[in-house]
Every structure is written in structure tokens, then in C-alpha cells.
């Protein structure tokens, strides 16, 4: 399966700032996804990162708050903008190599906002 590198692994940020999280895959993949996991909770899909076009956002998530880029089939970024303490979560990148394979996840980015 694909090897996924996610950076940074953790960060502590000030309120009102923005942070960009990177997700790099060692092979070309069809689909890339971004999830949020709030403390003690399950995973919630933020958006599907589409190569060459705007990401597809889930209900409750907007591009202004979570801009996503996917310039090619092996790389994507998620920016968490204008952060507040409520954004403190683990953010995870996942990839799907083809429609009949499971999704595989990066190690996640643990984000704390002061």
C-alpha cells in the first residue's frame, strides 16, 4: 500500500493564525481526503481533494476556513485558517489508490491552539 507522509506531526499555534498541513504520497493515487478528529471523537470528513480542481467540501466545512490544494496526484495541503481553540484536533490525510481498495491514513497532525 501507499506510504503517506504528513507534516507537521504536531504544532501549537496562536489564536488567529493559520497553519498549512502537507500530505505526500509515494505513488500516484486517485483520491485524497482530509479528516478532522476532535478530542475523544471519531473522524469527520472535511473534504475530498481533487487534482486540478476545487476540493469538494462536506456540510459544515467551507473553503475560506479550510482551503485545500492538490497540485498533482501525490501531494495535497490543508490550511486551517484564522484558528481558534475549537480547531484543536487531529487532522488526518488519507488516500485511496483505486475504488476497490481501502483508504490508508497518514499519522495525522495534532494541532493545539492557545
Partner 1 sequence: SQQGEEDPQALSIQEGENATMNCSYKTSINNLQWYRQNSGRGLVHLILIRSNEREKHSGRLRVTLDTSKKSSSLLITASRAADTASYFCATDRQGAQKLVFGQGTRLTINP
- Which residues here bind partner 1, judged by CB under 8 A? 1, 4, 6, 31, 33, 37, 41-45, 48, 90, 92, 94, 99, 101-108, 110
Least distance from C-beta 86 to partner 1, angstroms? 18
Least distance from C-beta 16 to partner 1, angstroms? 25
**Separation between Cα atoms, residue 68 and residue 79, nearest integer Å:** 6
Looking at beta carbons only, is 75 or 105 nearer to partner 1?
105
Least distance from C-beta 52 to partner 1, angstroms? 17
Looking at beta carbons only, is 65 or 110 nearer to partner 1?
110
**How distant, in Å, are the alpha carbons of 48, 49, 72, 91 from that of 110?**
20, 20, 25, 7
Looking at beta carbons only, is 12 or 16 nearer to partner 1?
12
First to last CA, the chain: 37
Cell numbers standing for residue 40 = 475523544
25 burial (CB, 10 Å; 0-12 / 13-18 / 19+) is: buried
Amino acid at each position: 500500500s501507499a506510504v503517506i507522509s504528513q507534516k507537521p506531526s504536531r504544532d501549537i499555534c496562536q489564536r488567529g493564525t493559520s497553519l498549512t498541513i502537507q500530505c505526500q504520497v509515494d505513488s500516484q493515487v486517485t483520491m485524497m481526503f482530509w479528516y478532522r478528529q476532535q478530542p475523544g471523537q471519531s473522524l469527520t470528513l472535511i473534504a475530498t481533494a481533487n487534482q486540478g480542481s476545487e476540493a469538494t467540501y462536506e456540510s459544515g466545512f467551507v473553503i475560506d476556513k479550510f482551503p485545500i490544494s492538490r497540485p498533482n496526484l501525490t501531494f495535497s495541503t490543508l490550511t486551517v485558517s484564522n484558528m481558534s481553540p475549537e480547531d484543536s484536533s487531529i487532522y488526518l490525510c488519507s488516500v485511496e489508490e483505486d475504488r476497490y481498495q481501502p483508504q490508508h491514513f497518514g499519522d495525522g497532525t495534532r494541532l493545539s491552539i492557545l
